[in-house]
Every structure is written in C-alpha cells, then in structure tokens.
Amino acid sequence: MTEAKPKPKIKKEEVKMPKQDPKVRVKNFNEVALGYTEEQAFEEATRCLQCVKPQCVDGCPVEVPIPEFIKYIKEKKYAEGIVTIKSKNALPAVCGRVCPQEEQCQVKCVLGKIGDPVSIGRLERYLADWELDHGFQLPEKPQSTGKKVAVVGAGPAGLTAAADLIKLGHEVTMYEALHLPGGVLIYGIPEFRLPKAIVRNEVAYIQKLGVNLRVGNLVGRIHTIPELMKTGADAIFIGSGAGLPRFMGVKGENLGGIYSANEFLIRNNLMKSYVFPEYDTPVRIGKHVVVIGGGNVAMDCARSSMRLGADVCLLYRRSRDELPARQEEIENAEEEGLVCKFLAAPLKFNGDEKGWVKSMECIAMELGPPDESGRRRPIPIEGSEFTMETDTVIIAIGQTPNPIIQRTTDGLEVNPRRGTILVNETGKTSIDGVYAGGDVVTGAATVISAMGAGKTAAKAMHKYLMNKK
C-alpha cells in the first residue's frame, strides 16, 4: 500500500485543466479542455488520500472504485487503472468529460473540506484517453445463458444496460432510431465538449463486446415492444430518452430563424452542419442570436452559435443564481463572450416580409416565492414590456419523452402529465420483463444518472432472466 510511504504534505489546490484560449476556441469546434499530461495526472493523483472508507464513491451513481483507479495512476499502471473503471463504468471517456462531478463524486471528497477536492473526473478522463491511444482490452467472453435481450435506444442508459447484460452472458440486440448510436452524446452535446470520435470509440467497445446494434430502427413503428417480446426477446430495456422538444406557444414561433434547441443541435452535431457544405445539412445563423433557457442545453446552443460567428444573448426568466447549467459551463461560456439577460421572458416574435424573425417582444420578471421545483417562481412585472432585435432564436426550455413507445405498448404505465414511464426501484415497468431507465423515466437529467439506471435495471433483468424457466 502507498500509505507505507512517508506522508507528504497535502496540496490544497487542484492541478488546473489546460484549456484552449477563449479567444481562439470561440472560433473553432475543437475540444475546449485539453486533458492532463502524464505529469499533471500524476501530480493530481498523488493528492488523493486513498481513504479507507472513500466518500467519493458514494457520490458516484455507478460506484466507480475511485481510490483504486487513482492508485494505479500513481503507479503508472494505466491498463489496470482503466480496467478498474470499466468494471463499473462502460463510458469513462464520456463521464470524465461531462459528469457534473462537482455535484457528484467530487462534492463528497474529503479534501474538499480543506481545499479543492481531487479532480476525479479529469483523472478518469486521463485513463480513458490513455486507453484510446493504446487500444482497448476486452474482458473474457462470458458463458452464454441462451437468453435474449432487446435494448431500445443507444443513449447512455441503453449502452450501459447492453454492456452489463452482455457481460453476464445474454445475447443483446440494441435498436436505435437515428442512423448513429450515442443518443444525446452524439446528437446533443457539441464536439467542443465531447468529441464525437470519443463517443464512437466507446460505442465500438460495446459492439466489440458482442452487442448487435441496429440503427435506423424506430421501435414503435417497426417493431413494437409487445412484438419484440413475441419474437424472442426474453426481456427488454427501454432507454429512449427525452427527445421531444418543448415550444412556448407564443405568437410567431413558426417564423424562419426560430429553432428548437434539438433542431439546432442535431443539425450541428449529428449532421455536422458547422462544416457545411462538406456535410450536406445546412444551418443558418444570423448575427444576433437569442437563446431562451438556462440549462446545459441552452449553454451548448449559445456556445455553438458563438462558434458559428454570432453575438449571443441568453435570455433566462429567473436570475443568475437559479441557472441550472453546470458552473464550469457557465464560466466557459462567459469567458467566450456570452451575454446574459436575466429575469425576462418572450411574449411574441415579429417577422420580416419574408417570414424571418426580426425582433421579439419580452417582459421583465421578478422572483416570487419558491414553486414546486424549489426555485423561486418568476412573476411578470406589469408594464415592463420591451423589444429586442434578433435574427435567430433558439428555444432551449426543455424536452419531454417521445411518446411513440408509450402509445404502442398496451399496459405500459406512464405518468400522464410528464409522459415518463413509471418504474419501481429496480427499473421494472408495469409489464413483466420490461424495464426502463434514463431520461425516459426521470425526464431530462444527466448522463451518469441514465447510466446508473441502466446498471440497476441490468442487475434486475439478469435476476429475472435467470429465474425465468
């Protein structure tokens, strides 16, 4: 054990993440955070106290063995380190980048009491990237159980469930509606935060494990859940996400230049419109973009728009303190020149003679008492209407689950108001053998919570499958 060495003085400050200069990066789509060097990773790893009862692990929804993998970095045993992570987390290169670590593993780290917590996510990323450069090791092939499983949706929830189930010896077929796998990781989160090569690599790993992936396959239109059951699936996992965009229902919303966040992000990420016309799908972005919303999705739209050359204003109906986006992303965006307008909401969009948006009428808000979400409710201030000039608007006010599966599966219990699938604590739905997890159950949440749900369900499904005659 490393504890045997003489105890060095604990460094209170984390090793900072090297990043692209804001002035440079706002002109390209390359990754903003460059990743630790070997020396930096070593230095940060040595800060970890190797706690016997590590609090950090409790904060991780998939229980990555954090002190163990950090120890391997200190010992420069990178291959062992990555295998340790992958025993719990099939997508470390993704999680190391986009997990809200500051609210999960890192918030629990004991070092946080005296200084900066250990940068667990960055270290996880370091090992995952090391593996990317060195090729991955496949675990030994398990003995086949002869059971068949269908997984619907190749987002983080589905990918995790698929990886866990195949490692347990089940035959897994994954159905993905889009032409590329990855879910939000491929169509939503921009290249500069999560390079698509990384997502492809993580998916390739899961395919190498033997998962049979079928893209362009919208369950509900081709096969329904009951049909999948009838044609041989012994159990099904639904991880279809929350991909339906919300609109505001205000006048003029169908004018040209008004995108849903999903449309804008799908164009840019899935279809790569930022390199149009090399790729065929166009995106049109004006000079003055207004992004409506305040979450991670809104930040991603704003930062993408800046990279496409626009001035961007974020319009949020509450105040800065309530911004739901990750702190790190807000800071990154502000460094890049994002302007925010707080406490205001749109009332109406006005168009030009060609049907393109040219301005929006807004109203100012003040904060009242907290609502059911626990945040203070915004209340319009009478007589405070004002007009903003704009030529592009991106609406990023949230998504709900796509109802195709819910509508085509008799007996599947759904929350009537939110459209989410109802499950018990193991992820089981109202139908025997059918499980669900991720955004389709919780509504828009996080990558790692979706993965956690995929894991939980995989465990329960394994038990169910092994008990089934």
Partner 1 sequence: MYKILSIQELAPKTKMFEVSAPDIVAKAEPGQFVIVIISEKGERIPLTISDYNREKGTLSFAFHEVGKTTKELGLLQVGDDLENVTGPLGNPSEIKKFGKVLCIGGSVMIAPLLLQVKAMKEAGNHVTTIIGARIKDGLLMKEKAEALSDKTYIATDDGSIGHKGLDFLKEILKKEKFDRCVVMGPVAMMYEVSEITKPYGIPTIVTTTPIMMDGMGMCGVCRVTVGGKMLFGCFDGPEFDGHQVDFDQLVQRQRLFLPEERVKSLLWEKNIGGCKCDRSKA
Ligand X SMILES: Cc1cc2nc3c(=O)[nH]c(=O)nc-3n(C[C@H](O)[C@H](O)[C@H](O)COP(=O)(O)OP(=O)(O)OC[C@H]3O[C@@H](n4cnc5c(N)ncnc54)[C@H](O)[C@@H]3O)c2cc1C
Interface pattern 117-156 for ligand X (x via CB under 6 A):
-----------------------------------xxxxx
Under rule CB under 8 A, residue 280 binds partner 1 = yes
Compare residues 123 and 461 and give the one whose CB is closer to ligand SF4. 123
Using CB under 8 A as the binding rule, whether residue 327 contacts partner 1 is answered as: no
Shortest distance (Å) from residue 221 CB to partner 1: 6
- Whole-number minimum distance, CB 352 to ligand X, in Å? 18
Q: Closest CB to partner 1 among 192 and 259?
A: 259
175 binds, among ligand SF4, ligand X, partner 1, none (CB under 5 to 8 A by kind): ligand X
Which residue lies nearer to partner 1 by CB, 83 or 404?
404
- For partner 1, the binding residue among 17, 51, 404, 431 (CB under 8 A) is 404
Q: Which is nearer to ligand X, 123 or 440 (CB)?
A: 440
C-alpha angle 91-92-96 in degrees, rounded to nearest 5: 125
- Interface pick for ligand X out of 188, 257, 324, 427 (rule CB under 6 A): 188
Counting contacts by CB under 8 A, is residue 110 touching partner 1? no
Q: Enumerate residues 203-242 that contact ligand X by CB under 6 A.
A: 218-220, 239-241
By CB under 6 A, residue 202 contacts ligand X: no
String marking each residue 145-184 x if it binds partner 1 according to CB under 8 A: --------------------------------xxx-----
Task: From the list partner 1, ligand X, ligand SF4, none, pick the one residue 282 interacts with, judged by a Cβ distance below 5 to 8 Å according to partner type.
Answer: partner 1
- SS in 3 state form for the chain? CHHHCCCCCCCCCCCCCCECCHHHHCCCCCCCECCCCHHHHHHHHCCCCCCCCCHHHHHCCCCCCHHHHHHHHHCCCHHHHHHHHHCCCCCHHHHHHHCCHHHCHHHHCHHHHCCCCCCHHHHHHHHHHHHHHHCCCCCCCCCCCCCEEEEECCCHHHHHHHHHHHHCCCEEEEECCCCCCCCHHHHCCCCCCCCHHHHHHHHHHHHHCCCEEECCCCCCCCCCHHHHHHCCCCEEEECCCCCEECCCCCECCCCECEEEHHHHHHHHHHCCHHHCCCCCCCCCCCCEEEEECCCHHHHHHHHHHHHCCCEEEEEECCCHHHCCCCHHHHHHHHHCCCEEEECEEEEEEEECCCCEEEEEEEEEEEEEEECCCCCEEEEECCCCCEEEECCEEEECCCEECCCHHHHHCCCCCECCCCCCECCCCCCECCCCCEEECCHHHHCCCCHHHHHHHHHHHHHHHHHHHHHCC
Tell me: does residue 276 bind partner 1 (CB under 8 A).
Answer: yes
Cβ proximity to ligand SF4: between 48 and 258 the closer is 48
Compose the 243-282 pattern: x for residues touching ligand X by CB under 6 A, - for all others.
x---------------------x-----------------
Should residue 320 be labelled a site residue for partner 1 when binding is judged by CB under 8 A?
A: no
Q: Which is nearer to partner 1, 42 or 276 (CB)?
A: 276
Which residues make up the interface to ligand SF4 (CB under 6 A)? 48-51, 54-56, 60, 62, 64, 66-67, 89, 95-96, 99, 101, 104-105, 109-111, 118, 120-121, 124, 448
290 touches ligand X by CB under 6 A: no
Q: Which is nearer to ligand X, 40 or 104 (CB)?
A: 104
Phi, psi of 146 (to 5 degrees): 75, 5
Whether 254 and 170 have beta carbons less than 8 Å apart is answered as: no
Do 237 and 437 contact (CB within 8 A), yes or no?
Answer: yes
| C-beta separation of 324 from 333 below 8 A | no
Is 253 a binding residue for partner 1 by CB under 8 A? The answer is yes
How are beta strands 235-238 and 434-436 bridged, if at all?
parallel
Please identify which residue in the block is written with the tokens 């790893």. Answer: 45
298 binds ligand X per the rule CB under 6 A: no
Q: Interface residues with ligand X (CB under 6 A)?
A: 98-100, 152-158, 175-178, 183-184, 188-189, 218-220, 239-241, 243, 265, 296-297, 300, 402, 404-405, 438-440, 444-448, 450
Tell me which residues touch partner 1 (CB under 8 A).
177-179, 187, 215-218, 221-223, 243-245, 247, 249, 253-254, 256, 259-260, 262-263, 266-267, 271-272, 276-282, 284, 354-355, 402, 404
